[in-house]
Amino acid sequence: MESFSSSWKALLLMVFFLLPLLAVGMTRHYKFDVVEKNFTRLCATKSIITVNGQFPGPTLYAREDDTVVVKVVNHVKVNVTIHWHGVRQLRTGWADGPAYITQCPIQPGQSYVYNFTVAGQRGTLLWHAHISWQRATVHGAIVILPKRGVPYPFFPTPQEEVVLVLAEWWRSDVDAVVDEATNSGRAPNVSDAHTINGRSGPVSGCASSAQDGFTLRVEKGKTYLLRIINAALNEDLFFKVAGHQLTVVEVDATYTKPFTTDTLLITPGQTTNVLLTADQGAGRYLVAASPFVDSPLVAVDNRTATATVQYASSVSASAVVTTTKPPPQNATPVASSFVDSLRSLNSKQYPTKVPPTVDRSLLFTVGLGVNPCATCTNGSRVVADINNVTFVMPTTALLQAHYFNTSGVFTDDFPGQPPVAFNYTGSGPSNMQTMNGTRLYRLPFNASVQLVLQDTGMIGPESHPIHLHGYNFFVVGRGTGNYDPKTSPSKFNLVDPVERNTIGVPSGGWMAIRFRADNPGVWFLHCHFEVHTTWGLKMAFVVDDGKGTNESLLPPPSDLPSC
């Protein structure tokens, strides 16, 4: 009996010491080999840059509060970096990944270890290359499961979970597409197809593509959690499944109040988790990903990517497919209805901590301009800007310049308001030239920030998916036309606004967000349309260290790449 009692005491002591370790999370190790590999799509073969030879790349799995260590080895002939899109990177900005913002690129033959903790997040995010247009093929999913033993908050554990990555495919070499546009000063060619998990489905002009679509096999009565990611470079996408309703439960790794819809809108960089119940008759059902654009001046790839939901009881893969009609390309009411339905869960376990008051109130106009270019086709170049500043990329990483107090790399005089007020959603000033500069906006630690993102009619209005690195933010308001600081805030939602890391500023409208600057470092803010980022629609916040413990940026790792 004494021996039995001693064994129980030993077991209790072991549990007592292990519980803190379980609460902190485990360390997960991954290796990403960046390599070239030939892929055949649309009846043509080309070499693309991949991670581990996969397109899309491998899914990275972790649980909330786990530490993730990824060794990235560059085996290709160009520089690379990897960004962990949506991961908060609390005090670990060195692991964020955007080239020349938080790190110098990983040069050919070199490697870098990204080390970060997934703190207080659970759901779906994505990782992707963050230099040039490499993310066209260098991207994949991040699946963050709840802490072990913690259930999903308001729905039973689904029988299966499936990752669906939406993307674009060019027949040409993507770098050649960018170079041609840069030399001409004009917009780049649009993609040749959209893809779902790397496959387009049937495309005219390529007979073999009829057998190319992704198939999701389901069993009647089961519920599936679909983790949907828009990894496309330049297009917002609608998503539908014929004959099925989708229940939205999470966006950008934050839980939402559940609502049911037949159509999702996902901008580049956004993720959406939905529940799909296999409640239809045996057969095959079409999955469609199609573009959304409500600006008549913007060219898009108008092809619809398709996949198939196939019930296990179906006789064969050749059975008749139940189809669905995608929304019209310019279906603004469909897009707005989806965006307006999103609300944060705001439960006791997952409260909505939107700043009730504001220390810094900023207004950023986002749009296009035209600058002189002696070597371009028409003597001018289309550019993009925030508050009339077209961002110039440095040759030294901004975070290093900030940490080591290196002068001459950037200035911290980015304008918090438009330099000149005008009718933003009108035709705008006749002079469409912008200012160039590597200008940052400085924030004190823990400041509460309200940022209004205002689209402009310069050249033409269009939507902009804006992504903020290092932070989640609350979307407290949106509207059409010009933001009015006197009347617009009266309609703000400060109770349960959706929490995101990427938001679509509506064409000819505005979006208001709030966040608390509690993460020291240099954090990129940019349009997630790669064409607009290339043109200069980007800036960065530099957030100073706080005074307390755990309120300062950690020192750089020893293997941080050099420029």
**Residues 438-464 pLDDT 10s:** 999 999 999 999 999 999 999 999 999
Q: Is the pLDDT of residue 205 over 90?
A: no
How far apart are alpha carbons 92 and 80 in whole angstroms?
19
Cα dist from 140 to 64, 82, 146, 220, 371, whole Å: 19, 11, 20, 29, 36
DSSP 561: -
The whole-model pTM stands at 0.95
Cα dist from 515 to 356, 416, 474, 519, whole Å: 10, 16, 6, 11
pLDDT class of 208 with cuts at 50, 70, 90: confident
Q: In the prediction, which pLDDT does 19 show?
A: 44
Q: Is the pLDDT of residue 400 over 50?
A: yes
Q: Is the pLDDT of residue 268 over 50?
A: yes
Q: In the prediction, which pLDDT does 86 show?
A: 98
pLDDT class of 314 with cuts at 50, 70, 90: low
Q: Is the pLDDT of residue 18 over 70?
A: no
Task: Give the SS3 label for residue 450.
Answer: strand
Q: In the prediction, which pLDDT does 23 show?
A: 54
- The tens digit of pLDDT for each residue in 73-83 reads 999 999 999 99
Task: Give the SS3 label for residue 278.
Answer: coil
Q: Is the pLDDT of residue 3 over 50?
A: no
Range scoring the smallest mean pLDDT among 311-315, 475-479, 522-526: 311-315
* Selection from 515, 531, 388, 362 nearest residue 463 by Cα: 531
Do 144 and 124 meet the contact criterion of CB atoms below 8 Å apart? yes
Q: In the prediction, which pLDDT does 478 show?
A: 98
Do 116 and 87 meet the contact criterion of CB atoms below 8 Å apart? yes
b/e burial code for range 503-533 (CB count within 10 A of at least 16 → b): bbbbbbbbbbbbbbbbbbbbbbbbbbbbbbb
Structure tokens at 203: 């495309």
Do 278 and 219 meet the contact criterion of CB atoms below 8 Å apart? yes
Query: What's the average model confidence in pLDDT over 154-165?
Result: 94
Q: Is the pLDDT of residue 1 over 50?
A: no
Q: Is the pLDDT of residue 316 over 80?
A: no
How far apart are alpha carbons 552 and 543 in whole angstroms?
10
Query: What's the average model confidence in pLDDT over 417-422?
Result: 95
Q: What percent of the chain has pLDDT over 90?
A: 89
Under the phi-then-psi rule, with left for phi > 0, alpha for psi from -120 to 50, and beta for the rest, what region is 175? alpha
Write the DSSP assignment of 88-148 as a string of letters: --TT-GGGS--BTTTB--B-TT-EEEEEEE--S--EEEEEEE-STTGGGTSEEEEEEEPPT
Query: What's the average model confidence in pLDDT over 469-478?
Result: 98
136 contacts: CB under 8 Å, gap ≥ 6: 48, 167, 168, 169, 170, 174, 233, 530
Cα dist from 180 to 174, 183, 239, whole Å: 10, 5, 31
Cα dist from 418 to 363, 365, 367, 421, whole Å: 7, 7, 12, 6
Classify residue 313 by burial, with Cβ atoms within 10 Å: 0-12, 13-18, 19+.
exposed
